[in-house]
Amino acid sequence: MLRVVLAQPRGFCAGVERAIEIVERALKKYGPPIYVRHEIVHNRHVVEDLRTRGAVFVDELDEIPPGAITVFSAHGVAKRVEEAAAERGLPVIDATCPLVAKVHNEGRRYAGQEREIVLVGHAGHAEVEGTIGQVPAKVHLVQTVEDVARLQVTDPEKLAYITQTTLSVDDTKGIIAALTQRFPSIVGPNVRDICYATQNRQQAVRDLAGQVDVILVVGSRNSSNSNRLREIGQELGRPSYLIDDADALQPEWFDGARTVGLTAGASAPETLVQGVLNGLRRFGEIEITTQDGVAEDVRFRFPAQLTDA
């Protein structure tokens, strides 16, 4: 019998739940089609489900017809995107995660102090591009400690850092330590401002690694936080696999394994986790337990346009 330990917490965070429900409420209130700039969250199954219900996902605003209801994704957008939508008169509903919006506000506050900004994050990620485009200052992107050593700044005394929300305290502490060592005057947000969901899910995987033989992470390839969960399991010496759904399961992964840890990235729905449990039953009998972990009760307000939907 294979013992399966479910991570706690796992799956949807409050920002993702809110973003998905924003699209659902908009479809209910205004009717399809609703246009969404970029994937609302980084999960193929979620995007496809909303697409079948009338959401249209576009890369750029010029793909949206005049006057059509427009939703900005949970990752946030650059100021130029907001301005372009306003110029075209598009009615916008902003699904930016409030924790991402908080990072934008911090960046603007530091810019108001005439500081250059160091952004700790992944190049090309939608959230990073949105944050850079929200801060009216020079922004230096760093991804590694080595990037810190190569930084060229105008005034080391006028420097601040902010971080991508899908990085945890553990992900950023080495880079922040390197920044502080090289630029002792640098300022930054309190570690409490790190996304609670990222930190909790990563800690759950660290706890899982001590009690299982194999770790499965349900999430999409383009999901930053899901990839990081798999990496953590691997770093802790456990074979770890990132899977879209049950179809990706390979029986040889479980040869000689007695316990499997199962978690999901912050943009992966619980239905996919349950599907993976059913998929594991194809290989034999399973026993399911749930890890002790943090119970999350965070909820975010909806945009004013949708409070009645």
Residue numbers annotated as active site: 127
* Tokens encoding 114: 């005439």
Tell me, what DSSP letter sits at residue 212?
-
* Tokens encoding 161: 């850092």
Tell me, what DSSP letter sits at residue 295?
P
Dihedral pair phi/psi, residue 285, rounded to 5°: -70, 140
How far apart (Å, rounded) are the C-alpha atoms in residues 141 and 118?
6
Tell me, what DSSP letter sits at residue 221?
T
Which of 55, 63, 103 is CA-nearest to residue 85? 63
How far apart (Å, rounded) are the C-alpha atoms in residues 203 and 225?
12
Residue type, 255: D
Cβ–Cβ under 8 Å, residues 264 and 11:
yes
Cis peptide before 65 (omega within 30 of 0): no
Q: What's the longest Cα–Cα distance across the chain?
A: 63
Cβ–Cβ under 8 Å, residues 5 and 210:
no
DSSP string over 128-189? HHHHHTT-SS-EEEE-SHHHHHH---S-TTSEEEEE-TTS-HHHHHHHHHHHHHH-TT-B--
Q: CA-CA distances (angstroms) from residue 234 to 154, 216, 276?
A: 39, 11, 20
Cβ–Cβ under 8 Å, residues 22 and 95:
yes
